[in-house]
Each structure stands twice: as C-alpha cells, then as structure tokens.
Structure 1
Amino acid sequence: MGENIQGTFTSEKISKIRWKREDFSEAKSFITGSWDNPVNHITHWTFQTNDDDETYPVNVSSHLFEGDVTEIQFINTTCFVASSSIGSVKLLQIEDNPSLPLKELTIWENIHQFKTSEQASCTALATFKQDIATVGEDGKINLLTAQQKTPVRTIENADSCSLICIDFLRHNEIITSNTRGHMKLWDLRNHQDIPATTFMLPDQLKTEATSIAHHPTQRHIVAAGGGDGGLSVWDLRQSTFPRSQLLAHSHAVSEVIFHPDRPDNLFTCSMNGELWRWNSAQSSKLKSDTSDSHWLATRGPNAKVDIIQLCTPIHKPINSIDIDRTTLLCGCDNEAMYVVRDVLL
C-alpha cells in the first residue's frame, strides 16, 4: 500500500461504503454496511486527529441489521436507505449528535419475495431525491418514497430472471440489468409494466452488468462493469449496443463510479482486489463534439484511456467504493476498509 492509503480493521466484511455528503463542504463522515455475519451492522464513521496530526476513521455508532447489506444510498444529507438480502429496505437517519444511535424511520419489509413466499434478496436500490427504486432476485421493481410506508408502485414481472443493478437516470427514468446481460430502460410515466428500450451486449460477449453508473452531467452516458471484468460505455440515445467495450479486470467488477465533479475520471474495483482509476483523456487531434463526453470517444486511433492502479491488489474482493473530491473510500472482504487520499494527483 502507498503512503496515501490508510487501512482500518473493521472485524467484518464490508459490502457497501458511502460518504455522507455535506452541502458545499468536504464530506467528513461515512457509512459502511457489512455482510456474511449472523447479524450484520450499519456503522457510522467520522474522522479524528491524533497528536501527530494524523487523521483516521473512528466508529461513532453501529446499527444491527438483519441480512446482508446489499446497498446504501443517501436521499439527503442525513437520511439514507439500506437494502437487505432478506428482501427488506430500511430508511435510517443520522442524528445531529453523531454519537447517538442511528434512528430507524421506516421499514419496508419483505417487498422482495418469490411467488412461493420465500425470501428474495433486494439486490440493489437507487435514489432520486426522496424517490427510491429497488430490484431483487424475484425479478421485481418496487418504487418507494420516503413519505409513504407502502410501495408507490410495483412492477411484478419486470424480468423473468434476477435483477442485479438499478440506477435512476432522471426522476421518471430508471435502468435495470439482469443476470443474462440485458439492460432495460423504464419510463415511469408509462403505466404499462413494459420497458421503453432493451440494451444488450453482442452475442460473443454475453455477461451480466454487475454495476452501472450514469455520467453526472450527461445522464444518457452509462458505464457498466461486467461479470467478465470488462467495462462498457453506452450512449442510450443512439444504440442498443455499447459505444465502446474496454478490457479491464481479470475478475468481475464489483462497483463502477464516476467522479461527481470531474467525470472524465471513473473508478472501478473488482473481485480480485484491484482498484483502478480511469481517465478518458483525448488526443488534441481527436475531432468530436466538445459538448459531449470523452467517454463516447474511447475507440479509434486517436482515443486514449489512461488507467492508474491506485493500490497493490489485496487478493480479496473490494466490494464497494465512493469518492468525495480527492478522497476515495473502499470496503473489502479482508475485514478492512481503506481511505485513499489524493487520487486525482
């Protein structure tokens, strides 16, 4: 590990890690969720400075959580939702005094289950302000809102196989992916339970999208990390096939994220413990619409994507990453989490 990387032992495997973002200021605390325990935890961390002027994470409160934590997403600066492998979702709040326990506001229980009434994992969720969308092993989509204790809408047969990813593109538009490698775009204004468009990889590259993320300012651009370790970039306006497919990790991509303020930078982590930063730098000779993203020009003789390995592979899955400004967090299966500073230098 480099000098800019700080590891913290957590005594449990970390499945998700998310910054608590502040308004117009640097994030100073974050949330982790665990998995593979009889009872798991959602933990709130802040930073303290010791006598040597070194800053390090400190556990300030922990919340018992039934099932594995499969996703965590904030809906505002203090409230977040967490999904469970037992098919439930919780809305939790961080108190003004961070040492106080997390406050449980709402539980949506068993909103994912098979037709036999057996539990189905809520595999992922996405948020758009107060709106929440969930997907699960049961092929179902649930639309929730923080103000209501029952689902606003349920698309029972959204897919015939397990759904594993979801992302809000706009307030009325979501994209999902399944275990067969299909991505579907849903217009929530349409009350018929059918997707607006289906996107897929070429037949020779059939693999599931294990993580999807939209470009922060150009939401028609979507990056998808694959079960084969590859990275695909899609322009949802133009084609049902990806604009580019990039060789990446040798194992499945666990998570892919764009930098929220500098989206020419994208970050991926993988099941073999790799952590990479991608930069879609362009040659000055490359002729393209300057109003569009460099990510749509990552093919051809003048295109260039720089990849930087941010740490030595740890040979255990890195399950989750999140970035604020120049500081990146990652949670791993080696019962540790890492703070990586100065990642854009």
Structure 2
Amino acid sequence: MTENIQGTFTSEKISKIRWQRDDFDEAKSFLTGSWDNPINSIAYWKFETSEEDETYPVSIFSCPFLGDVTEIQFINKDHFVVSSSHGSVKLLQIQEDPYHKFKEIVSWDSIHQFKTTDQASCTALATFNQDIATVGEDGRINLLAGQQKKPFRVIENADSCSLLCVDFLRHNEIITSNTRGHMKLWDLRNDEDTPATTFMLPDQLKTEATDIAHHPTQRHIVAAGGGDGSLTVWDLRQSTYPISQLMAHDQAISEVIFHPDRPDNIFTCSINGELWHWKNAQGSKLKLETSDTHWLTTRGNSSKINISSLCAPLHKPINSIDIDRSTLLFGCDNEALYVVKDILV
C-alpha cells in the first residue's frame, strides 16, 4: 500500500460503495452495503479530522438489510435506491437531524422472482432522475418511479436467462446484458416488449458483460467490463460492433466507471483484487467523437493508454469503486474499505 491509501476495517464484506455527492463542494460522506452475512447492512460514513489534522472515515449509523446489497444508486442528494439478492428494491432517505437514520420512502418487495415464486436476485439497477430500472436473475425488467408503490411497467420476459447489468443511456433508453454476453438496447417509448437492437460481445471474448458504464457527457459511448477481465467500448451511434477491445485483468471485472468530470479517465476493479486507472496518454482532452481517440479506436492495443495500478493486489475481490474529484473509494471482500487520495486525473 502506498502512502495515499487509507484502509478501514468494516467487519463485513463490502459489495457496494457510493459517494454522496454535493453539487458544488467536494463529497465528504458515502454509503456502503454488505453481502454474505445472515443479516447484511447499509452504513452511512463521514470523514472526520484527527488532532494530527488527518481525515479518516467514520461510520455514523447503519441499518440491517435482508439479502446481499446488489446495488446502491443516489437519485438526489439525500435519497438513494438499494437492491437486494432477495429480489426487492427500496428507496431510502438519509436523515441526520434530528435523528441519524435511514427513512424508508417506498419498498418494492419481491419484484424479481421465478415462475415458481422462489426469490430471484435483483442483480442490478440504474437511475435517471426519479426513474429507476431494475433487472434480475428472472430475466425481468422493472421500471419504477420514486413515489409509486408499484412498477409502472414490467417487461416480464425481457430475457430467457439471467440479466446482469442495466444502464440508462437517456430518459427513454436503457441497455441490458445477460449471462450469455448478449447486449440489448430498449426504447422505452415502444409499447412492444422487444428490444430495439440486440448485439453481443465479440466472439473471441466468449464472455458476459459483468458491468456497464456510460460516458458522463456522451451517453452513446458505453464501456463494459467482462467476465474474462476484458474492457470493451462501443459508440452506439455508429454500430453495434465495439470500437475498442482491450484485454485487462485476468479475472472478471467487478465494476467499471468513468470519472464524472474527467471522462478521459476510466477505473476498473476485479475479483482478483486489482484496481486500475486507465488514462488517455495524450492528456486530458479526450474527444470521443473524433478519430484521434487512441484508446477507443485501437483494438487490442493499449500502447497509447497509461494504465496504472492504484494499489497492490489484495488477493481478495474488489467489488465496488466510486470516485469524486481526486479521491476514490473501494470496498473489498477482506472486510475493509479503502480511500485512495490525490489521484492524478
């Protein structure tokens, strides 16, 4: 571990970690969710300052959670959505005054289940303002609104196998992926429960997309982390064939994220305990719409990308990452969370 990395023992495996972002100021608080416990938890953390003028994260409060936490996403500064391996989704509010607690606003119970009525994990969710899309092991897509107690639309048989990922590209369009490596674009304006486009990860990869992320300002640019550790990028305006395929980690990517303000920086973490920072070698002006986007246009060749490891391999899965400005958070199966400071982006 280098000097700019700080670890905090949590006594539980961390499945998700998310900054609570402020519109103007640097984020100073975040959420974690756990997995692999009989009763899991969601915890709210803040940074405090020691007498030596060093900042460190402190758990302010937490609440029990049934099932593994499979995703956490904020829909505004104080409200967030959390999904469960029991097939349920909750909208919660962070309340600090006068009580430190999470207030439940809506609970969508068992919205993912198999035809046998057995529980199916809600494997992922995505948000666009107040709209929420969830996918699960049952191959179903649910569309939720923040104040409605029932899904306003259900695509019952969206896929014949488990769905792993979902992401909003725009208000009326989502992308999903399944365990066979099939990617589907859905136009939500269409009343038909069929995708607008279906495509696959490249045949030579023979893997599934384990996580999907869109470029923060050009949402037609999509990056997918693969079950084989690969990183694949599409420009969905042009074609459903990827414009970049890069072999990355030697095991599955857990999460892939673009830096929200400097999207020429991508971060990936893997179940092999690696955390990587991908940066365009030309500097900070990455123009994705032009042909000089080197790391996006050179298949299989990472010579024009700076790839750096942000920590020594932990030999336990790193499950989740999030970055705000130059500070990155990540959660691991070694029952710890980590803060990486002063990242050059």
TM range (shorter): over 0.9
- Contact (CA 8 Å) 1:61, 1:98: kept in 2 or not? no
CA distance 1:148–1:140, shift in 2 (3 Å):
same
Q: What is aligned with 1:107?
A: 107
What is the CA-CA distance between 1:343 and the residue it aligns to?
Answer: 1.3
In the alignment, structure 2 segments of 5+ residues that lack a partner are none
CA offsets per residue over residues 84-124 of structure 1, 9 Å max, x none? 00000011111143861111111000000000100000000
Tell me the distance in 2 between the aligned counterparts of 1:219 and 1:292: 19
What is the CA-CA distance between 1:303 and the residue it aligns to?
Answer: 6.7
Tell me the distance in 2 between the aligned counterparts of 1:312 and 1:90: 35
CA distance 1:301–1:177, shift in 2 (3 Å):
closer
CA distance 1:47–1:245, shift in 2 (3 Å):
same
TM-score, scaled to structure 1:
0.95
In the alignment, structure 1 segments of 5+ residues that lack a partner are none
Letter in 2 for 1:272: N
> Aligned runs of 1:165-314 on 2, under 5 Å?
165-282=165-282, 290=290, 295-299=295-299, 304-314=304-314
Question: Is 2:92 the counterpart of 1:65?
Answer: no
- Contact (CA 8 Å) 2:247, 2:300: kept in 1 or not? no
> Aligned runs of 1:135-154 on 2, under 5 Å?
135-154=135-154
Letter in 2 for 1:304: K
% identical aligned pairs: 75
- Contact (CA 8 Å) 2:48, 2:58: kept in 1 or not? yes
Tell me the distance in 2 between the aligned counterparts of 1:130 and 1:9: 34
CA distance 1:2–1:195, shift in 2 (3 Å):
same
Letter in 1 for 2:13: K
Tell me the distance in 2 between the aligned counterparts of 1:193 and 1:41: 35
Q: What is aligned with 2:322?
A: 322
Q: What is aligned with 2:128?
A: 128
Tell me the distance in 2 between the aligned counterparts of 1:175 and 1:106: 25
- Contact (CA 8 Å) 1:282, 1:303: kept in 2 or not? no
- Contact (CA 8 Å) 1:298, 1:305: kept in 2 or not? no
CA offsets per residue over residues 238-264 of structure 1, 9 Å max, x none? 222211110100110000000000000
SS of the residue aligned with 2:248? coil
CA offsets per residue over residues 269-292 of structure 1, 9 Å max, x none? 000100000012349xx9995598
Tell me the distance in 2 between the aligned counterparts of 1:201 and 1:73: 26
What is the CA-CA distance between 1:23 and the residue it aligns to?
Answer: 1.4
What is the CA-CA distance between 1:268 and the residue it aligns to?
Answer: 0.1
What is the CA-CA distance between 1:298 and the residue it aligns to?
Answer: 3.6
CA distance 1:112–1:265, shift in 2 (3 Å):
same
What is the CA-CA distance between 1:334 and the residue it aligns to?
Answer: 0.1
Tell me the distance in 2 between the aligned counterparts of 1:116 and 1:328: 42
The CA RMSD measured in Å over matched residues stands at: 2.0
Tell me the distance in 1 between the aligned counterparts of 2:300 and 2:313: 30
CA distance 1:247–1:291, shift in 2 (3 Å):
closer
Q: What is aligned with 2:25?
A: 25
Tell me the distance in 2 between the aligned counterparts of 1:21 and 1:247: 32
Tell me the distance in 2 between the aligned counterparts of 1:105 and 1:193: 29
SS of the residue aligned with 1:87? coil
Q: What is aligned with 1:155?
A: 155
SS of the residue aligned with 2:112? coil
CA offsets per residue over residues 134-166 of structure 1, 9 Å max, x none? 000000000000010000100000000000000
Letter in 2 for 1:89: V
Tell me the distance in 2 between the aligned counterparts of 1:312 and 1:72: 26
What is the CA-CA distance between 1:202 and the residue it aligns to?
Answer: 2.6
Question: Is 2:343 the counterpart of 1:343?
Answer: yes
Q: What is aligned with 1:13?
A: 13
Tell me the distance in 2 between the aligned counterparts of 1:303 and 1:98: 54
- Contact (CA 8 Å) 1:281, 1:304: kept in 2 or not? yes
